[in-house]
Amino acid sequence: MAIYFISDLHLEPAQKAITDGFLSFIDSLNDAEALYILGDFFEVWMGDDYSNDYIELINQTLRKCAAKGTKIYFMHGNRDFLIGQAWCKNTNCELLEESKLITLGDESILLMHGDSLCTDDIDYMKARIMLRNPQWQQQFLAQSIPERIEFAKQARSESKESQQGKSYDIMDVNQTAVDEALSSANCSTLIHGHTHRPNIHNWNFEGQERIRYVLGDWGDKGWYIKWQENKDLILESFDL
């Protein structure tokens, strides 16, 4: 049996290759005890009360996967942070808090989406406080669907604009934030996505060997991390 981690698929109807890749990836998970979706699964989320044929297709795929015996966990990203319990119940996923420590075999692994580690991006961190505020979310969800779609469009173009002026480094995780997150979880292994910089980083922190696995965003390739008993975690990609 194996455990899989994915993030940053940014699923949307316009991305046919990614969608098809996801459907066949899910179909191929015959040895999956669990699947962890670590955020930005959907490109955008308007609220659990909004659905369409595309969302239904994805929901149905997750339900099928769960019915085969795979336990599915979902963690919010910065695109789909409005996913709620209703959607999770509908798809048989379990919603995780934004920083989750799990134990696999005798290993502790800290799971995050990764955006909260990008502390050098001051503008984003400020926006994040607003977007993750339950009161703000309630107000947003109280608006009509067209109003929400309009807001999301606006926010996306503003975010694109602000990213253009930012250096590559600012949009990566901050090493101090990474070390603090690991120290406070009393853990030496981190898996996250968000930065779209798939890699495995090893370093030493105060005498402790630490390791950070970064999932890739799905585009030309699909990415996942796989855990198996008594084996190293592996970061894999496949062509889409």
Contacts to Mn ion by CB under 5 A: 40, 77-78, 194
Helix (H/G/I), strand (E/B), else coil: 134: helix
As measured in angstroms, the least distance from the Cβ of 78 to Mn ion is 4
As measured in angstroms, the least distance from the Cβ of 193 to Mn ion is 7
Closer to Mn ion by CB, 76 or 210: give it.
Answer: 76
Token pair 């999770």 is found at: 88
Closest alpha carbon to 34 in 82, 96, 117, 77: 96
Closer to Mn ion by CB, 3 or 215: give it.
Answer: 215
Closer to Mn ion by CB, 43 or 72: give it.
Answer: 43
> Tokens standing for 44?
């955008």
Closer to Mn ion by CB, 32 or 36: give it.
Answer: 36
107-112/99-104 β-pairing:
antiparallel
Closer to Mn ion by CB, 91 or 116: give it.
Answer: 116
* Alpha carbon distances (Å) from 26 to 149, 215, 227: 29, 17, 16
DSSP string, 215-233: PPPSSSEEEEEEEETTS--
Closest alpha carbon to 213 in 68, 41, 36: 36
* Cβ(46)–Cβ(145) below 8 Å: yes
As measured in angstroms, the least distance from the Cβ of 8 to Mn ion is 6
As measured in angstroms, the least distance from the Cβ of 165 to Mn ion is 19
Closer to Mn ion by CB, 108 or 119: give it.
Answer: 119
Q: How far apart are CA 115 and CA 47, in angstroms?
A: 20
- Taking only Cα atoms into account, the Rg of the chain, rounded to an integer number of angstroms, comes to 18
As measured in angstroms, the least distance from the Cβ of 70 to Mn ion is 23
Residue of minimal Cβ distance to Mn ion:
194
Closer to Mn ion by CB, 46 or 75: give it.
Answer: 75
As measured in angstroms, the least distance from the Cβ of 220 to Mn ion is 18
For residue 156, the tally of other CB atoms under 10 A from its CB is 13
As measured in angstroms, the least distance from the Cβ of 69 to Mn ion is 29
End-to-end CA distance of the chain: 25
